[in-house]
Amino acid sequence: MEYFVKSGAPSKQRSGCVVVGVYERRKLSEAAQALDGATGGAITQAMRRGDMDGRRDDTLLLHGLDGVLADRVLLVGLGRERDFDDKAFVRANGAAIKALRKTGATDAVSYLTHLVPRKRDLSWSVMRAAMIAESTAYRFTQCKSKPEPQEGRLTRLTFDVASRSHLPEGEEALRRALGIAQGMMLTRDLSNLPGNRCTPTYLADTGRKLASDYPAIKTKVLDEKKMESLGMGALLSVSRGSREPATFTVMEYMKGPKKAKPVVLVGKGLTFDSGGISIKPAAAMDEMKYDMCGGAAVFGAMKAVAELGLPINVVGIVPASENMPDGQANKPGDIVTSMSGQTIEVLNTDAEGRLLLCDALTYVEQNYDADCVIDMATLTGAVIIALGKHASGLYANQPTLAKALTAAGELSGDRVWELPLWEDYESALKSPFADVANVGGREAGSVTAAVFLHRFAKKLRWAHLDIAGSAWEQNPKGATARPVPLLMQFLLQRVDNSKQK
Ligand code: BES
Ligand code: MN
Ligand code: ZN
């Protein structure tokens, strides 16, 4: 779809459809009032007939109104005016796109971008509106022999801003949204691909492709031999049980000041997690193809950063493997030596993500002077029990980092909730035979996993996102690209802050 930012009167738009909002109890938004005036009260009349009251998710399509140049007018319910918040904005824009796709309109002009929730601004509204339009248009069709065509004919969408002086702000917001949307699309595609297509090698190739598409990205892929020589014994113990070789992809994007320390992103890339010898039950095991969503988010964020040409330094790292049962696989009780030198007793082979991430964190510590390190992983079922799908679990060993990520989550709508890294939880990971055990019992499973990782991040300014609940959804089944919106908001904030200095 093509997008534009313009400024003009709603009645003067030569377009397939003009989209305006209406609050509950038939209270017209400004743009709706303007149309009502231009049509001698046609909007008020339609509402008075009882066809629409302005409740959330309601829409009403009006055709061929006198005094309006557009073929159609779409009224979108906003709910009560004093309750108009981020969520209401998102729902109204989503309902508008859905309704537009049911019409024959090929283009539309939306005035919903005028409706800025409290504490937000025009950039926020344009950015969110464009990202909603892009993500509702997403289809995963790569594995269908005959993809079903997209519903509706909409191909051009214009967001109106209140005056010409707002055009530059609106256009920059649109540019950012479309760059992020491209990154999110890559994340969703990688995540939705099945395990037999998206292998560790496929992930590494994705990193190489990013380097060839964007000259600013430099990619290096470590093979198992190299990982062996670095001493990544925890990571390699997981991949030993699989016929697919592990890969370790390192992408550098250094368009910031030479002296600026990089933000390092690390993503779990388990292209299929059967559980290994501690095998998972059969029900919903297919969903373990999504166990590389953290890695997919790192690739997506790198793509978005490069697409936008942000003046920052970012490193993306994706340790990737399968977790399979096999004669050579980890067995419960096996003790492996991590790159850090710490020995780990593998009490449960299904707690494999932390075995990859611990070596990746040590690799970061030894190779980069990072400003901060953020890892993201579909790490535990326990975080789904704690937070459901609405929030990702956040852990951090530095309060300012936790604060910045929480704020970025609120702004982007890709929210996180902080959970504790208290020392009290460390005793759960005690092992009689090794330095640490890889699981900590039934209680606080997401916390003990984070506390395990923390042992390998003590020298880093570090945050961990447990995205097992947020990375994909059930209905319709598919990847969400979270936490890419959160990461991009976090990075854009740093860009905007450094400009103000
Ligand atoms: N990839 C899973 C976590 C997961 C489970 C994500 C369900 C999304 C949905 C992870 O590797 C795992 O198996 N974790 C175990 C840890 C346990 C053995 C301590 C879990 O959560 O059951
Ligand atoms: Mn597992
Ligand atoms: Zn896993």
Query: How far, in Å, from the CA of 418 to the mean position of ligand 1?
Result: 19
Residue 197 CA to ligand 3 center (angstroms) comes to 18
Residue range(s) of every CATH 3.40.220.10 domain in the chain: 2-162
Q: What is the pLDDT of residue 63?
A: 96
Q: Nearest bound ligand to CA 321?
A: 3
- Going by alpha carbons, the residue nearest to atom 3 of ligand 1 is 380
Indicate which atom in ligand 1 lies nearest the CA of residue 270.
Answer: 1
pTM recorded for the entire structure? 0.98
Under the banding of pLDDT at 50, 70 and 90, the label for residue 233 is very high
- pLDDT tens for residues 46-95? 999 999 999 999 999 999 999 999 999 999 999 999 999 999 999 999 99
* Substitution candidate for ligand 1 out of 321, 348, 350 with most atoms within 8 A of CB: 350
Atom of ligand 1 nearest to the CA of 440: 19
Average pLDDT for residues 431-438, to the nearest whole number?
A: 98
Query: What was the pLDDT predicted at 482?
Result: 99
Provide the pLDDT confidence category of residue 150 given band limits of 50, 70 and 90. confident
205-210 long-range contacts, Cβ below 8 Å, gap at least 24? 206/249, 206/299, 207/249, 207/250, 207/251, 207/299, 207/316, 207/318, 210/251, 210/299, 210/302, 210/303, 210/306
The Å distance, Cα 385 to ligand 1 centre, comes to 12
Q: Whose CA is nearest to atom 5 of ligand 1?
A: 381
Q: Residue with the nearest Cα to atom 8 of ligand 1?
A: 468
Residue range(s) occupied by CATH 3.40.630.10 in the chain: 179-500
> Alpha-carbon distance 159 to 3, whole Å?
8
| Distance, CA of 397 to CA of 64 (rounded, Å) | 60
Nearest partner of 376 among 181, 232, 187, 246, judged by Cα: 187
Q: Whose CA is nearest to atom 7 of ligand 1?
A: 381
Predicted confidence (pLDDT) at residue 191 exceeds the cutoff of 90: yes
Q: Which residues are catalytic?
A: 280, 354
Q: How far is CA 375 from the centre of its chain?
A: 13
Give pLDDT, residue 333: 98
pLDDT above 90 (res 499): no
What's the CATH class of domain 179-500? alpha beta
Q: Which residue has the higher pLDDT, 437 or 152?
A: 437
Write the residue with the smallest CA distance to atom 16 of ligand 1.
351
- The C-alpha torsion from 77 through 175 and 316 to 487, rounded to 10°, is -30
Closest residue (by CA) to atom 17 of ligand 1? 351
> 230 CA distance to ligand 1 centroid (A)?
27
Identify the three-state secondary structure at position 398: coil
- What pLDDT is stored for residue 500 in this prediction? 80
The C-alpha atoms of residue 314 and residue 224 are separated, in whole angstroms, by: 25
Span from the CA of 350 to the centroid of ligand 1 (angstroms): 7
Q: Which residues line ligand 1 (CB under 6 A)?
A: 273, 291, 348, 350-353, 378-382, 439, 445, 468
Q: Is the CATH number of domain 2-162 3.30.2320.50? A: no
What is the tens place of the pLDDT at every residue in 35-49?
A: 999 999 999 999 999
Q: What is the model's pLDDT at position 149?
A: 85
Atom of ligand 1 nearest to the CA of 448: 19
And the tokens for 380? Answer: 């535990």
Task: Give the ligand at the shortest distance from the Cα of 271.
Answer: 3
pLDDT for residue 192 = 98
Stretch 177-188: mean pLDDT: 98
Instruction: Judge whether residue 378 has pLDDT over 90.
Output: yes
Spacing, Cα 270 to ligand 3 middle (Å) = 6
Q: Which of 268, 346, 380 to mutate to test the pocket of ligand 1 (most atoms within 8 A of CB)?
A: 380
Check whether 501 has a pLDDT greater than 80: no
Pairing of strands 313-323, 247-254: antiparallel
Cβ 393 vs Cβ 457: under 8 Å:
no
